[in-house]
Amino acid sequence: MKYTTLPHTSIKVSKICLGTMTWGNQNTEAEGHAQMDLAFDKGVNFFDTAELYPVPATAETYAETERIIGSWFQKTGNRDKIVLATKIAGPGDYTAHIRTNGFSKEAINDAVNQSLKRLQTDYIDLYQLHWPERNTNTFGVRDYKHNPDDRWSDNFNEVLNTLDTIIKSGKIRHVGVSNEKAWGTMRYLEESKQQNLPRMITVQNAYSLLNRVFEGDMAEIAIREGIGLLAYSPMAFGVLSGKYITGHVGENARLKLFPRFARYSSEQSTEATKEYMKIADHYNMSLALMALAFVNQQSFVTSNIIGATSLEQLQENLSSIDIELKEEVINAINDVHSRIPNPAP
């Protein structure tokens, strides 16, 4: 395994982070424990979860993933060996079964306290805001269109003050954002600088061969401001395994179970995936390994969040850390990107 550090800290984390959002839905508790065992044995010391998980979010399965992680900590005694990240759910109809008071002081405190109980720990290493409260273009929406009826009012200071109090209590160590855009990221950073409040040290956004939107304004912010990308969906919901093109799709495949998650299934995404598969075939590697290795070696990526529904998938995904793509492979990838840019924003 390779390691880096969370920005502005001395906390060492594995370059590959274990994603967990299938545990409690596509995967059982025993399977989740087996994945944690394997990842830990391979040197992964960074786990990412959320109170929302498993996905798709329902009232019946709410927070089951955190409970599975907590039971693994209790069973193994490995809490002090893991850097643990979780998130408070953002507001909206999708999360109305969790709470409806956004990122208010009461909401954040409740979310932290409930996560601590489920995770069977007394601290969280990295606490993240799952998506913005304000209306903006997230989750596959290509461009920002202002909504004049957006009722959100600027509360960056209030949110950071709430997080500051919780940090001082010892319940969380550091904070980050997720599914955030350039404006929101800079507002948090400037507010923390001007008011001496906790700074966001990471941003967890989608990043893959099919979605390189982060390479725009966000990459410059990440590098110049020192806020590391935790890249999620590097396999584009499994599309970049190539299985949907070759027809080798298991019954437990995400897009087969949940076809409404079509962010990476457009005609352009399929065409780009076929082109990337040709490159991988030419250089005698699997498309999955090429896709993950590409993310691993980006300078603005602090950690690459991988997920799997089987130990075989997880084993292959973890092995991507040993691959360094040559310049000629990168050039071939960039040629496809220039012709079919960001088909799945």
The answer to whether the CB of 68 falls within 8 A of the CB of 74 is: no
Q: What is the DSSP string of 195-219?
A: HT-PPEEEEEEE-BTTB-GGGTHHH
Q: Give the list of residues 6+ apart from residue 54 with CB closer than 8 angstroms, or none.
A: 21, 22, 23, 24, 25, 26, 61, 64, 65
**Would you tell me how many other CB atoms lie within 10 Å of the CB of residue 280?**
20
Angstrom distance (rounded) from CA 37 to CA 165: 34
Q: Is residue 48 within a helix (H) or strand (E), and if so which, with residue range?
A: strand 46-48
The question of whether 127 is a catalytic residue gets the answer: no
Amino acid (one-letter) located at 81: K
Q: Do 45 and 17 form a contact (C-beta atoms < 8 A)?
A: no
Question: Which residue out of 3, 53, 62, 123 is catalytically annotated?
Answer: 53
172 φ/ψ angles, rounded to the nearest 5 degrees? -130, 155
- Residue 18 pairs in a beta bridge with 47, 306
Of 257, 336, 235, 209, the residue nearest 16 (C-alpha)? 235
Buried b vs exposed e over 58-91: b needs ≥16 C-beta within 10 Å?
eeebbbbbbbbbbbbbeeeeebeebbbbbbbbbb
Residues 6+ apart with CB under 8 A from 83: 6, 11, 12, 13, 45, 46, 47, 125, 126
* Residue 115 DSSP class: H
In a 3-state reduction of DSSP, which class is residue 222? helix
The structure tokens listed for 292 are: 């993950």
Catalytic site residues? 53
